[in-house]
Amino acid sequence: MKLDISTLKRIQYVALSFSLLGYAGFSINLMFSEKMSDFYKGFLEGMSFMMIVAWGVYMLWSVFNKRNPYELIK
């Protein structure tokens, strides 16, 4: 199944933003864990984990399709 360029761009931008947001959320969770309530800590940890896993799935998809995941599609 071939995807057109605009769809690949959207997938790449979503995956890159998930990566950045996931690692940022995980870092915030580590820095402010004692100041947050258990609900917010668990919510942020779960969301960051989900985003990092989605980034990992995109990385695997890129490997199998022989694409560089960091090279922006033009």
Instruction: Provide the residue ranges of all domains of the chain, joining segments of one domain with +.
Output: 19-64
Give the pLDDT band (50/70/90) at residue 12. Answer: confident
Per-residue model confidence (pLDDT) at position 1: 63
Dmax (CA) of the chain? 48
Amino acid type, 19 = S
| 49 pLDDT higher than 70 | yes
Rounded distance between C-alpha atoms, residue 34 and residue 29, angstroms? 9
Q: Which residues have C-beta within 8 Å of that of residue 11, sequence separation ≥ 6? A: 3, 58
Rounded distance between C-alpha atoms, residue 9 and residue 52, angstroms? 19
Give the pLDDT band (50/70/90) at residue 20. Answer: very high
Per-residue model confidence (pLDDT) at position 34: 87
Mean pLDDT, the chain, whole residue set = 88
Per-residue model confidence (pLDDT) at position 17: 92
Rounded distance between C-alpha atoms, residue 26 and residue 30, angstroms? 6
